[in-house]
Chains A and B, each alone.
Chain A
């Protein structure tokens, strides 16, 4: 760099003299430095108002003459070459009106544009403060005639010095910027409208709502495209959409009028549990055991219900399928069945009718068991897919597309994601480790088995808790594999935590404030691990991330069967046989989930890598769109 500067100061006057010779390699010499192009464009624009025929190509920025001598130049050139053609077209098309037609936002035309501004603007744009005095002279020189642009080389030289630093600051022209922004906004609003409407639909408020939603989607997107072309469409709608982005509040079951409404629609007639915990009035709690025979009796009466949905719903209800991934996959496969058997009724469009159907199925699932976050995200995905189907697409093709989309979702978001998580997690297991896990998590089980297959020597502590005692299932599978295990109840966790080196946990959902929503008891486990300074690794697929936030486990939770608490398997004399008749004073609380604070978590292992809990909102934000659209 040194010789370059010296050279310049020395040859400065000479350069001025050679100002208008057209060097044969102009095309190569212009591009390495967009500034030069900008400056050359200054000349163009300054002359173009008068319909100047002089193309920027012909302008020989004399500096390049000297620059070509410098050996470092050629190395940068090939990199920028591909831009050349577009720059040419841009430059050749250049006219005041053409400026607004740029939507691609590529750098070169931007630079050209910048040149069209007054020298003051140019100086500001380039932020060349040293040259502030020389710029006016440039403009002065330029304005009378381009033949006399003797000062330009000086500008250029200075620009060149600052050029690289200035590049990012070279901004769009006003018109440019506006157009660009508007197009982005249009895309954003379109996306938002769709997602917001879809989420509204997935809330499953009524059968008519989804159809309405899809209608409004199409209407809105039309509006949006119109709006995008208008200049005034501005900020207001965007703000509105942003507000819609906040996840809708869920149904609060202490709101009697809404509960009544929901009940009227419900397929499953459920009786409210009589003796409920005051703190959890806002959550649904039903008498267990009554729905199942009721539903079974109804099997032939439920006209609109697809058998696949019915089957899966019953499995949810009876607890045969549990766990975020399993429930989600079961639901998606049921939807595949539906789509396979689906035929659009006359005078209806596939996208609207199918969305409505799916919404009604979703509300059936919700009645069987409240949706998990994983299911909610999957439903959102599917509805988006349906909404995005072009209206002209034939039905059979649409159906196969949707089916393959679902397959792809299961494969990418669950199966492959699990594999990635396993491969990440295994690196955190070393010989001699004592790993602790709680309950059953399909991912953690895969990790443990994979590590065992890799020949790592470790021991597993399986922590379990009432009433589900899911840990026993995991324990049985691990022991059958030949992994050495220790089995404890959650109460004994402080006893065992001394020897544990890592805690691996699954999660039902990861919320965007970094808290992990998981099977009840995980918070206790992580709390004790934190107290004993044992790292906690939470394994969770990214499709279970959600933008909702929670601070405690009270506001949003699920209530399980209270009888499961009342009855103890071993001690007959301790359990309460006649719970209902007992007393108003005694209640049983069977929480399903709890929320573990993010400061207990060392890392979250997800398919995007291992991230701290503070990065969850980033992932939610950055990947959500991709998430929905895949």
Chain B
């Protein structure tokens, strides 16, 4: 346990200090951390899934609070929670296949309130999952209506009676659950690792000969996407906007040139001038919200507007770990982060002006250096994720596959308790 604690604290510290860069790296680290949390979590005979969920949530809250803007962390926590629920559900259904369905009915219990961490019985999970995730069949619609309606009231631990009666079976099941969850989390980590390749595989479908592509800043996904097209013998030209305060575009340009792509580095201000000669804009994202809006590196809203003006397709590449189930509200401010002014002005340079107003109370000079931009869904032509290309309007449905509805409010619950 102390081992996990120190690991968690270390990661939290990293997040707070913004030492982890890039949502993919963050997502991977978070998944690995949660895996170790799960593997170290001691679970009793009763309510194994609930215990796991509790543990993951407790850690997840801390992680999210450490850097609320790093949406990938919250996404991974939710995905892991979803995995636990899912595995538990499949185990339960497997178990229930042996039992008769009446077992569900003697699950009635009153030891938990729904406000507290809701400890879900297998049946409740099953019902909830059915209602939120599984496409409803006609049968389930007709038959299970009363059942699913009753679920919130009868949210129960469910283990008690079962545990007493079949402890031996339970024991093996609990071990099986943990094992399954860890397996699934491993799969998730692998998914995160390979999302670039999976996205890059689709490159040839989108890039043809003599294409002129514009991108801004640097993104591993974009780099691999372009390189994949290059490896398939497509010859095209890339304009890279440097992405001003951080100049990540220079990195991308170096990488592209190293792989033999025709690359032109431009300033961000020249985007509007150049976009009229561009066939496609391909960019990476920081996060994709449920409405299809994109939290992207700063400057991309400008690019998207220019692309719209000239009817240039604006394509966003995003691994599935970037898909966030939340709907944004005022994302330019609330999901943004202001970075150090020193990236724009040297500290020494304007120091005389900076403290000029200290006497009067408010300084005369403000330097604003936001990290992200919000690109509204109407400016996005296409999302390419590891599962294929999607319209912005479809993102909410895609996202629903990865998360369970109970976990969406993960963060808000944490707020009053901390």
On A, residues with C-beta under 8 Å from B are 277, 279, 464-467, 472, 475-476, 479-480, 482-496, 498, 520-521, 523-524, 527-528, 531, 552-554, 557, 565-566, 568, 570-571, 574-576, 582-583, 585-591, 594-596
Chain B min CB distance to A96 (Å): 64
Residue B396 is within 8 A (CB to CB) of chain A in the complex: no
B353 nearest in chain A by CB position: A479
**Residue contact A527 to B265, C-beta cutoff 8 Å:** no
Contact of A495 among B244, B336, B356 (CB under 8 A): B336
Interface residues of B in 27-61 (CB under 8 A from A): none
CA distance A486 to B242 in the complex (A): 22
**Residue contact B365 to A553, C-beta cutoff 8 Å:** no
**Residue contact B267 to A467, C-beta cutoff 8 Å:** yes
5 A-B contact pairs sorted by A residue (CB < 8 Å): A491-B298, A498-B332, A527-B272, A574-B247, A586-B257
Chain A min CB distance to B254 (Å): 7
Contact of A279 among B251, B277, B332 (CB under 8 A): B277
Write out the residue numbers on chain B whose beta carbons fall within 8 Å of the beta carbon of A582. 257
Write out the residue numbers on chain B whose beta carbons fall within 8 Å of the beta carbon of A583. 257
Assuming the contacts A566-B265, A575-B250, A585-B263, asked whether A488 and B309 have C-beta atoms less than 8 A apart, the reply is no
Q: Which 5 A-B pairs have the closest CB atoms?
A: A521-B269, A491-B299, A553-B273, A494-B301, A465-B269
Contact of A277 among B253, B264, B332, B349 (CB under 8 A): B264
Write out the residue numbers on chain B whose beta carbons fall within 8 Å of the beta carbon of A528. 301-302, 305
**Residue contact B353 to A494, C-beta cutoff 8 Å:** no
Residue B141 is within 8 A (CB to CB) of chain A in the complex: no
**Residue contact B266 to A565, C-beta cutoff 8 Å:** yes
Chain B min CB distance to A562 (Å): 9
Contact flags (1/0) for B255-278 with A, using CB distance below 8 Å?
011001111111111111110110
CA distance A523 to B309 in the complex (A): 12
**Residue contact A552 to B268, C-beta cutoff 8 Å:** no
Residue B62 is within 8 A (CB to CB) of chain A in the complex: no
Contact flags (1/0) for B62-94 with A, using CB distance below 8 Å?
000000000000000000000000000000000
Q: Which of A467, A479, A495, A575 has the most CB of B within 10 A?
A: A495
Write out the residue numbers on chain B whose beta carbons fall within 8 Å of the beta carbon of A496. 368
15 extra interchain contacts, Cβ-Cβ under 8 A, other than A472-B349, A520-B270?
A: A464-B344, A486-B365, A488-B344, A490-B268, A494-B332, A498-B332, A521-B267, A527-B306, A528-B302, A574-B251, A575-B250, A588-B264, A589-B264, A591-B270, A594-B269
Chain A min CB distance to B241 (Å): 9
A523 nearest in chain B by CB position: B272
Write out the residue numbers on chain A whose beta carbons fall within 8 Å of the beta carbon of B349. 472
**Residue contact B257 to A585, C-beta cutoff 8 Å:** yes
CA distance A482 to B353 in the complex (A): 9
Residue B364 is within 8 A (CB to CB) of chain A in the complex: yes
CA distance A167 to B243 in the complex (A): 67
B212 nearest in chain A by CB position: A279
**Residue contact B265 to A487, C-beta cutoff 8 Å:** no
Assuming the contacts A495-B370, A523-B273, A552-B273, asked whether A465 and B365 have C-beta atoms less than 8 A apart, the reply is no
Write out the residue numbers on chain B whose beta carbons fall within 8 Å of the beta carbon of A527. 272, 302, 305-306, 309
Residue B245 is within 8 A (CB to CB) of chain A in the complex: yes
CA distance A565 to B272 in the complex (A): 17
B356 nearest in chain A by CB position: A479
**Residue contact A565 to B263, C-beta cutoff 8 Å:** no
Write out the residue numbers on chain B whose beta carbons fall within 8 Å of the beta carbon of A484. 362, 364-366
**Residue contact A485 to B365, C-beta cutoff 8 Å:** yes
CA distance A531 to B376 in the complex (A): 12
**Residue contact B268 to A495, C-beta cutoff 8 Å:** no
Write out the residue numbers on chain A whose beta carbons fall within 8 Å of the beta carbon of B369. 488-489, 492
CA distance A116 to B370 in the complex (A): 81
Would you call the interface of chain A mostly helix, strand, loop, or mixed?
Answer: mixed
**Residue contact B268 to A466, C-beta cutoff 8 Å:** yes
Contact flags (1/0) for B298-317 with A, using CB distance below 8 Å?
11011001100100000000
**Residue contact B267 to A491, C-beta cutoff 8 Å:** no
A560 nearest in chain B by CB position: B267
Contact of B273 among A482, A557, A574, A575 (CB under 8 A): A557
Write out the residue numbers on chain A whose beta carbons fall within 8 Å of the beta carbon of B327. none
**Residue contact A570 to B267, C-beta cutoff 8 Å:** no
Residue B7 is within 8 A (CB to CB) of chain A in the complex: no
**Residue contact B261 to A554, C-beta cutoff 8 Å:** no
CA distance A626 to B256 in the complex (A): 55
**Residue contact B366 to A465, C-beta cutoff 8 Å:** no
**Residue contact A487 to B366, C-beta cutoff 8 Å:** yes
A557 nearest in chain B by CB position: B273
Contact of A589 among B245, B266, B302, B345 (CB under 8 A): B266
**Residue contact B364 to A520, C-beta cutoff 8 Å:** no
**Residue contact A479 to B273, C-beta cutoff 8 Å:** no
CA distance A486 to B370 in the complex (A): 13
Write out the residue numbers on chain B whose beta carbons fall within 8 Å of the beta carbon of A494. 301-302, 332, 373-374
**Residue contact B257 to A491, C-beta cutoff 8 Å:** no
Residue B343 is within 8 A (CB to CB) of chain A in the complex: yes
Q: Which of A491, A585, A595 has the most CB of B within 10 A?
A: A491
CA distance A532 to B299 in the complex (A): 15
Write out the residue numbers on chain A whose beta carbons fall within 8 Å of the beta carbon of B336. 495
Write out the residue numbers on chain B whose beta carbons fall within 8 Å of the beta carbon of A595. 273
**Residue contact B253 to A586, C-beta cutoff 8 Å:** yes
Chain B min CB distance to A529 (Å): 10
CA distance A154 to B309 in the complex (A): 67
**Residue contact B332 to A487, C-beta cutoff 8 Å:** no
**Residue contact B273 to A591, C-beta cutoff 8 Å:** yes
A479 nearest in chain B by CB position: B353
CA distance A465 to B257 in the complex (A): 25
Residue B25 is within 8 A (CB to CB) of chain A in the complex: no
Chain B min CB distance to A258 (Å): 24
Q: Which of A464, A479, A480, A557 has the most CB of B within 10 A?
A: A479
CA distance A475 to B346 in the complex (A): 14
B310 nearest in chain A by CB position: A552
CA distance A319 to B81 in the complex (A): 60
Contact flags (1/0) for B347-358 with A, using CB distance below 8 Å?
001100100100
**Residue contact B262 to A565, C-beta cutoff 8 Å:** no
Assuming the contacts A487-B345, A487-B365, A495-B373, asked whether A552 and B270 have C-beta atoms less than 8 A apart, the reply is no
Contact of A565 among B242, B301, B309, B332 (CB under 8 A): B242
CA distance A354 to B311 in the complex (A): 52
CA distance A490 to B332 in the complex (A): 16
**Residue contact B244 to A489, C-beta cutoff 8 Å:** yes
Assuming the contacts A520-B269, A527-B302, A531-B305, asked whether A571 and B365 have C-beta atoms less than 8 A apart, the reply is no
CA distance A590 to B264 in the complex (A): 10
CA distance A279 to B242 in the complex (A): 19
CA distance A482 to B356 in the complex (A): 9
**Residue contact B368 to A487, C-beta cutoff 8 Å:** yes
CA distance A596 to B271 in the complex (A): 12
Residue B408 is within 8 A (CB to CB) of chain A in the complex: no
**Residue contact B267 to A587, C-beta cutoff 8 Å:** no
**Residue contact B366 to A486, C-beta cutoff 8 Å:** yes
Write out the residue numbers on chain B whose beta carbons fall within 8 Å of the beta carbon of A472. 345, 349
Write out the residue numbers on chain A whose beta carbons fall within 8 Å of the beta carbon of B370. 492, 495
CA distance A523 to B271 in the complex (A): 9
Residue B367 is within 8 A (CB to CB) of chain A in the complex: yes
CA distance A411 to B242 in the complex (A): 42
Write out the residue numbers on chain A whose beta carbons fall within 8 Å of the beta carbon of B368. 486-488, 492, 495-496
Chain B min CB distance to A432 (Å): 15
**Residue contact B251 to A585, C-beta cutoff 8 Å:** no
Chain B min CB distance to A180 (Å): 48
**Residue contact B269 to A466, C-beta cutoff 8 Å:** yes
Assuming the contacts A493-B302, A495-B370, A498-B332, asked whether A524 and B247 have C-beta atoms less than 8 A apart, the reply is no
Contact of B261 among A493, A585, A591 (CB under 8 A): A585
Write out the residue numbers on chain B whose beta carbons fall within 8 Å of the beta carbon of A596. 272
Write out the residue numbers on chain B whose beta carbons fall within 8 Å of the beta carbon of A570. 247, 343, 346
CA distance A38 to B305 in the complex (A): 66
B267 nearest in chain A by CB position: A466
**Residue contact A568 to B302, C-beta cutoff 8 Å:** no
Write out the residue numbers on chain B whose beta carbons fall within 8 Å of the beta carbon of A464. 344
CA distance A496 to B338 in the complex (A): 12
Contact of A568 among B250, B274, B356, B364 (CB under 8 A): B250
